[in-house]
A and B are shown apart, each in its own frame.
Chain A
């Protein structure tokens, strides 16, 4: 699949702070997905986006599907210790159901 550019690669944040990460692609995607992976576990789907410009929330998480269909961002508000983990973006082109993954953003929360 296509390689997505995900940034930042890692971040150390204070508990209570907001977190923001994004993904960009040179190709247009029909779907953007955001996953969280804990050590030794499989990725867990956080948010799925299907429409350009769509803004979707899941608790303290908010994600947006970029209007150009080539980017997406994920925000975590008021971070807590259990937000620690690796967050992956994934994109899916219209005609191909294989997911392309970003390299991941490792989030570490300082209490």
Chain B
């Protein structure tokens, strides 16, 4: 149990375009999902907390108008990188908190975004 999927696994786009990444909890409901960003050889950096049915909470320094988050159901959260630029190229990972336990987060496989 507690499987989280992400789609797509890899995406290459041109500068100025928008890219949507989906995060799904496959076998459980997740009222809260988290979006992280990871640069090569670095740790995970929390970008935002996504709550089902309400606005996301963004970490300091993360532009909410650039990284749009929608958590429309208990099994799906989406991250849209708007007007992507090369510096947005990174590994984006989502996680979901299991509803029965407030302490465990399970991570998706990640999405590698490359902006040309």
Chain A residues within 8 Å of B, Cβ to Cβ: 1, 30-31, 33, 35, 40-45, 48, 50, 88, 92, 97-99, 101-104
B interface, how many residues as a size bin? 20 to 34
Q: A50-B103, A98-B34 are in contact. List 9 more A-B contacts (CB 8 A).
A: A33-B104, A42-B4, A42-B108, A42-B110, A45-B105, A88-B44, A92-B103, A97-B103, A98-B46
Per the bound structure, the CA–CA distance linking A88 and B43 in Å amounts to 8
* B32 and A97 form a contact (CB under 8 A): yes
Interface of B is mostly: strand
Interface of A is mostly: loop
Chain B residues within 8 Å of A, Cβ to Cβ: 4, 6, 32, 34, 42-44, 46, 49, 91, 93, 95, 97, 102-110, 112
> Which 3 A/B pairs are nearest by Cβ-Cβ distance?
A42-B107, A31-B103, A42-B110
CB distance from A41 to the nearest CB of B (A): 6
Per the bound structure, the CA–CA distance linking A88 and B102 in Å amounts to 19
